Amino acid sequence: MITRPLELAARLRPAPRSFDALFYVNAGLAALFFTLFGSRFVLSPGLGVDFQLPRLSGAVARASLTTSYLSVKRSGQIVTESGLLDLGQLGGWLKAQAARDREPSLLIRASAGVTLDDLMKIQTEAIDAGFVAVAWAAEDDRPRASTDGPSRK
């Protein structure tokens, strides 16, 4: 019975005995490009699918426009547009954000399991950093009306 009719394994070039210089140059260039041109969105931690805002009646009616925002996870991680921060690093980030605008305002997007103590610490630091207004994000618990206009039947 013929199991290898074309004998391709005999026609292949033998494997190299060691890595040549071109391999090390390619590996070095790949590492250089990943460090210089890497995106902070590719490997940085973000908000998972379990992130849920608290539900509040009338939340959409009291919505306001803010200049900065941050998200707080249940685990205590603080996610900003510049990356992941802890409570110790938050003060410096808040001062830098407050210095950007004339009347800075902050939106705190806290997951449903974040304690009120943590939220008050963040709000106090924001006010000390110079924010004029601090808002907490929530989703409206009432169903939204369709904004597509009258239905055509």
Q: What is the pLDDT of residue 152?
A: 45
Q: What is the pLDDT of residue 128?
A: 92
With respect to residue 14, please indicate whether it lies within any of the assigned structural domains: no
With respect to residue 80, please indicate whether it lies within any of the assigned structural domains: yes
Three-class secondary structure of residue 48 per DSSP: coil
Q: Specify the residue for token string 């902050």.
A: 106
Q: What CATH number is attached to the domain comprising 135?
A: 3.30.420.270
Q: What is the pLDDT of residue 58?
A: 62
The backbone torsions φ and ψ at residue 135, rounded to the nearest 5 degrees and listed phi first, read -120, 145
Burial class of residue 110 in the structure, from the number of CB atoms within 10 Å of its CB (0-12 exposed, 13-18 middle, 19+ buried): buried
- Residue-number span of the structural domain to which 67 is assigned: 55-140
78 contacts 145 by C-beta, under 8 angstroms: no
Give dist(CA 51, CA 47) in Å, integer.
6
With respect to residue 15, please indicate whether it lies within any of the assigned structural domains: no
Q: What is the pLDDT of residue 137?
A: 78
Q: pLDDT tens, position by position, for the chain (153 residues)?
A: 466 777 777 778 877 677 778 888 888 988 888 777 766 555 555 555 556 666 666 666 666 778 888 988 888 788 888 888 888 888 899 999 999 888 899 988 888 788 888 889 999 999 999 999 888 877 767 766 555 545 444
